[in-house]
Amino acid sequence: MNYTASDRRVIRKLKQTKRQVSINVVSLIDIFAILVFYLLVNALVVEVIPEYQNLKLPDSLSKDQAKRTVAVAISDKDILVDNDVVMSIEAALAENAGTLDLLAEMLGTRAQDSEDNALDPQGQPSILDVNIVADHKTPYLLLKKVLATCVGAQFGKVSLAVRELERGSTK
């Protein structure tokens, strides 16, 4: 019996579809086990900045992640260091000096308690990290005083907490 080329193609396709395909499940299990292990290890590395009520952080396109450091929060009423109230905003704005004495005192105790409080190779005290969390409407004069106080209390590596924007967003 003579078949046309299209008939032979159809017969060949039918013969190929009858074959059973086996899947190697062991390889899939290995891949998923590695994926789960990777996700578990990396899920624990996330650093969370403490949330403060009534603070709206400024927006930024920064991709740097925050480290766990001393946190100075500037709320609408108070200045806090690691959730401990240091002084009120009114008192801070009323101070005529360029630095805030109560904040400097609190940061000085945190610098003494810090395990990073070692000497650098020149014998000088090492510069410590501080993370400043402030509302986007915080007056610049107050922020300037807080920054100057932090630098004066050995906390020279200053990070400002921001809310990350998506690339291309103009919010």
Name the token pair of 161.
């907490």
Residues 100 and 33 in one domain: no
CATH at 73: 3.30.420
Percentage of the residues of the chain whose pLDDT score is greater than 90 = 4
Using 50, 70 and 90 to split pLDDT, how confident is the model at 62? Answer: low
Residues 113 and 34 in one domain: no
Res 33: pLDDT: 92
Residue 113, CA atoms < 13 Å, CB-side half-sphere: 8
Residues 38 and 66 in one domain: no
Are the beta carbons of 104 and 149 closer than 8 angstroms? yes
Residue 117 lies in a domain: yes
Residues 68 and 97 in one domain: yes
Give me the number of domains the chain comprises: 2
152 DSSP 8-state letter? H
Residues 94 and 151 in one domain: yes
Residues 11 and 78 in one domain: no
Residue 50 lies in a domain: no
Residue 116 lies in a domain: yes
Residues 110 and 137 in one domain: yes
Residues 27 and 102 in one domain: no
Give the predicted TM-score (pTM) of the model: 0.56
Residue 127 lies in a domain: yes
Closest CA to 69 of 131, 146, 152: 131
Distance spanning both ends of the chain, measured CA to CA: 74
Are the beta carbons of 146 and 102 closer than 8 angstroms? no
Using 50, 70 and 90 to split pLDDT, how confident is the model at 150? Answer: confident
* Alpha-carbon gap, residue 152 to 144, rounded angstroms: 12
Residues 70 and 132 in one domain: yes
Residue 141 lies in a domain: yes
- Residue pLDDT, tens place only, 73-121: 888 888 888 888 888 888 888 888 888 888 888 888 887 776 555 566 6
- Full residue range of the structural domain in which residue 32 is found: 5-43
Q: Strand pairing of 70-74 and 78-81? A: antiparallel
